[in-house]
């Protein structure tokens, strides 16, 4: 049977899913302007922090991590879950982590690669799969590659971004968010980095044990790039899943990915 068909999927926002074993010991992972909150405290809307360019609620953390999630695997198994889908786990500045600063690095707030492997091994041992959130349309302004492109006018990484005087900030942003820098996916070297090469982002996490990808704003990535990304994922790991966020009528989109979803 193909696990990608008919599975029960459980979505997890790691920071808010299960409390860590020792919150105070992890406080250094959340330096100002980030704030770390007691698990019983409800989230509240924050003010816009002009200095860093984020809303306060984007920098509020509750400290959930991969070990605390791992402790809930028996609960998920009891629910009959087949696939655990994690919202972004790579290094980022915000709590939502859709602003990657390093795609191949697990955010220390969530634990270590040993924690990741332990979680994967346990899920696989119970016959479950793990799907990660791939945010390949944009990255965070603090991303080291973007900062290199900003600082060095001769950097070959400039080709990865839309830069020029026609953009108010000197670069193209996504969703009018100053901290989300849109990627220029037409750049061949960027495609190599994100999905094509054996050490690409897609390949790296699949080799670490992930079983597939949910692609953020896949509709904005477009048919040709999605087709290439899906083919690459299947090449890197046979039987892996690529499902994309698509808000339009699905037929053609399902020809370039294994499936689609939206947030209705």
pLDDT at 239: 97
Look up tokens 């039987």; give the residue. 239
* Average confidence score pLDDT of the chain: 96
259: three-class secondary structure by DSSP: strand
Known catalytic residue: 166?
A: no
CA-based torsion, 107, 108, 111, 113: positive or negative:
positive
Known catalytic residue: 182?
A: no
CA distance 221 to 216: 9
At residue 83, what are phi and psi to the nearest 5 degrees? -135, 130
pLDDT tens for residues 141-175?
999 999 999 999 899 999 999 999 999 999 999 99
Using pLDDT thresholds of 50, 70 and 90, give the confidence band for residue 176: confident
The angle at the Cα of 38, spanning 119 to 42, to the nearest 5 degrees, equals 100
Residues 6+ away with beta carbon under 8 Å from 253:
218, 219, 223, 226, 244, 246, 260
CA distance 198 to 217: 24
Per annotation, catalytic residue among 91, 107, 182, 245: 245
Nearest to 88 by CA among 71, 104, 74: 104
| Length of the chain (residues) | 264
CA distance 31 to 59: 10
CA distance 96 to 111: 16
Look up tokens 């698509």; give the residue. 246
28: three-class secondary structure by DSSP: helix
pLDDT tens for residues 77-92?
999 999 999 999 999 9
Per annotation, catalytic residue among 65, 182, 216, 258: 216
The strand pairing partners of 260, in sequence order, are 244
Prediction pTM value: 0.96
Q: Which residues of 238-261 are buried (b: 16+ CB within 10 A; e: fewer)?
A: eebbbbbbbeeeeeebeebbbbbb
Kindly state the average pLDDT of the residues 200-204.
98
């Amino acid at each position: 049977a193909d696990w990608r068909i008919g599975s029960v999927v459980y979505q997890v926002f790691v920071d808010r899913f299960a409390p860590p074993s020792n919150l105070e010991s992890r406080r250094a992972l959340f330096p100002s302007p980030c704030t770390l909150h007691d698990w019983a405290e409800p989230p509240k809307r924050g003010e816009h922090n002009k200095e860093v360019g984020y809303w306060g609620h984007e920098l509020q953390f509750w400290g959930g991590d991969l070990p605390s999630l791992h402790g809930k695997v028996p609960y998920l198994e009891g629910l009959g879950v087949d696939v655990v889908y994690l919202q972004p786990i790579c290094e980022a500045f915000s709590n939502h982590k859709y602003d990657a600063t390093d795609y191949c690095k697990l955010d220390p707030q969530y634990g270590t690669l040993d924690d990741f492997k332990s979680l994967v091994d346990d899920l696989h041992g119970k016959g479950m799969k793990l799907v990660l959130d791939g945010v390949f349309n944009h990255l965070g302004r603090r991303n080291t590659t973007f900062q290199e492109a900003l600082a060095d006018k001769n950097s070959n990484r400039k080709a990865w971004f839309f830069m020029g005087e026609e953009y108010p900030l000197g670069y193209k942003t996504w969703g009018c968010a100053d901290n989300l820098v849109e990627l220029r996916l037409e750049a061949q070297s960027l495609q190599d980095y994100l999905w094509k090469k054996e050490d690409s982002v897609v390949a790296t996490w699949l080799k670490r044990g992930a079983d597939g990808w949910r692609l953020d704003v896949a509709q904005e990535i477009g048919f040709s790039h999605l087709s290439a990304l899906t083919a690459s994922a299947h090449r890197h790991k046979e039987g892996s899943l690529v499902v994309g966020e698509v808000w339009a009528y699905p037929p053609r989109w399902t020809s370039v990915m294994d499936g689609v979803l939206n947030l209705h």
